[in-house]
Structure 1
Amino acid sequence: MTPTFVLIHGSNANSFTWAPMQRELALLGHRSLAVDLPGHGFDASVPASYQTRDEAELAHAPSSLDGVGLGANVDHLVATLRRVKEHGPVIAVAHSRGGMTLTAAANRFPELFDRIVYLSAWCCVERTPREYVALPENAGGALDAAFGAAVGNPAELGASRMNWRTGDPALLAALKHALLADGTDAELRVFLGTLTPDESLDSGSPADRADPATWGRLPRTYIRLTEDLSIPIALQDLFIAEADALTPENPFDVRTLATSHLGPLVRPEGTAAILAGLA
């Protein structure tokens, strides 16, 4: 039977992020479904002050993601997968932070997946995300640039909040370097326009790391992005090495593309060709 690609977005993103990839997959003859995790897409928390660029008000506007954690993401994804699975095999593809949701869901319900794919995505095996960030493999990572866009107190908001509508030229240049160094300024501005300000504070617990008994028995692919400055290639390779050590009888199928963190979402042809091959 023809598989369905289920696409899981990263931080502050949504199903819209995947539109170019879905177009390319369709042109290659493949079916896909892009998920909006809770508090994302048209359910996102977008205060009026974000539209008006009133940063003082934006810093205190309530967030709909307050109290929404990784468990809610998993429940939503699993409910979607149950429906998709009725129509044939499922290949789940996660980008960036979406890898945390993918791992946690595959831990709990491996029977809903036929293959899992990490597209320069977090794949926590031995450590928490905070611990991975502190490792030498993350040295040189440029993602800290994004925190220049941070607004408000996460403890007050119950979520992290970014002002992607910034007009600060230095911050925009830093974001481009971190996220889309191989793209144009216009492409970056368009992509930032698809993002929403709020993201959940919950990145899971030790129980949400890769479980060899469930997650570990699934066929899995890691698509390395060698020019990624947000999740450096050394950190991607550490995720792969730790996972392979956890289940040496079932190692990652590893593919490589020379592009930035957002490169596959803006120019999806190379990634779509890899995914089509997996189908």
Structure 2
Amino acid sequence: MPPTFVLVHGSFGNSFSWAPMQRELALLGHRSLAVDLPGHGFGAAFPAGYQAPQDPAALAAAPATLAGITLADAVGHVVEVVRRAAAHGPVILVGHSRGGLTLTGVGNAVPELIDRIVYVSAWCCVDLTPAEYMAGPEYATSALNATTPALVGDPAQLGALRLNWRTADPDLLAALKTAMLADGTDQEFLAYLNTLEPDESLDAGGAGDRARADTWGRIARTYLRLTGDLSLPLALQDRFIREADALTPENPFDVRTVESSHVGFLVRPGEVATVLAGLPEARS
């Protein structure tokens, strides 16, 4: 029986960004479903101050529906999706960027339900927490460091991270494009920005949310390196791979490499879809 690909989005994202990938997977004969994490997709909030003409003060103060939503909530939601999908055959769980944090939590919770776990330039915390990795040398080169002016309001007061993706500031837009879609056209970049949501959960997990050898470490796993990723630098992707392989040397990452920016593969999914379609699905 062919597997079901369960696709988990990254920060400020939703299931909609996976639509081109799902099209390609379907044309290759594979079924898939894309998850909206809690507070995302049609559950996301778009404050009136985010609409045109924008009201910066209102945007900075509008309540966040994501306030109080945790990584554990995201993990629990995907566990239930995986449980339902696994009733119909093998499951390959795929995550991008921050979605990797959820993948690891699901792998720790229900390794018996997952046939393969795939990180696409995604966070895979083994030795450190996300905050600790971000303070390290591998993250220092991230082009996202130049995009902090997009932050809106006080995260502590909002209970969430809020970004103004609809900014008209040309310098900020240029910095965002460099960080996320340097290999895309301006039209592709603006189209992608309009799929994003203004709010993201503050909770990225801590020491208790790292990969565990006795659970997550039992699952066959693939890491898909994106060589042109300036948001999650290649050096950090490689560190995740090294640390995971050291945790379970008997079950190392199957490593694949694609030339793409952080979200370029979502806009032009053909190569990555072919990689996913060719992965072995048997449980480790």
Answering whether residue 246 of structure 2 is matched by residue 245 of structure 1, we say: yes
In the TM superposition, residue 139 of structure 1 has moved relative to its aligned partner by 2.7
Match of 2:138 in 1: 137
Q: 1:111 aligns to what SS in structure 2? A: helix
Cα shift at 1:207: 1.3
Q: 1:129-172: CA deviations, max 9, x gaps? A: 11111111123210123322110000110000000000000000
Q: Secondary structure at the match of 1:202?
A: coil
**Distance across 2 between alignment mates of 1:45 and 1:201:** 15
Deviations 1:79-127 (A, max 9, x none): 1111111110000000000000000111011112110000000000000
AA matched with 2:176: L
Amino acid at match of 1:226: T
Aligned counterpart, 1:68 = 69
Match of 1:184 in 2: 185
Q: Which runs of 5+ in 1 are unaligned?
A: none
Note if contact 2:130-2:206 (Cα within 8 Å) is conserved in structure 1: no
- Distance of 2:85 and 2:105 partners within structure 1: 18
**What secondary structure, in the 3-state scheme, does the structure 2 residue paired with 1:255 have?**
strand
Amino acid at match of 1:3: P
Identical counterparts, % of pairs: 66
Contact (CA 8 Å) 2:21, 2:270: kept in 1 or not? yes
Q: Which residue of 2 aligns with 1:4?
A: 4
User: SS of the counterpart of 1:278?
Assistant: coil
> Equivalences for 1:1-279 in 2 at 5 Å?
1-52=1-52, 53-279=54-280
CA contact under 8 A between 2:180 and 2:229: conserved in structure 1?
A: yes
**If the length of structure 1 is used for normalisation, what is the TM-score?**
0.99
SS of the residue aligned with 2:194? Answer: helix
- Supply the distance in 2 between the matched residues of 1:148 and 1:227 (Cα, whole angstroms): 23
Which secondary structure does the structure 1 equivalent of 2:95 belong to?
strand
In structure 2, the residue corresponding to 1:251 is in which secondary structure? coil
2:218 partner amino acid: R
Cα shift at 1:175: 0.4
Counterpart CA distance in 1 for 2:140 and 2:79 is 34
For structure 2, the 5+ residue unaligned runs are none
Distance 1:139 1:205 in 2: 20
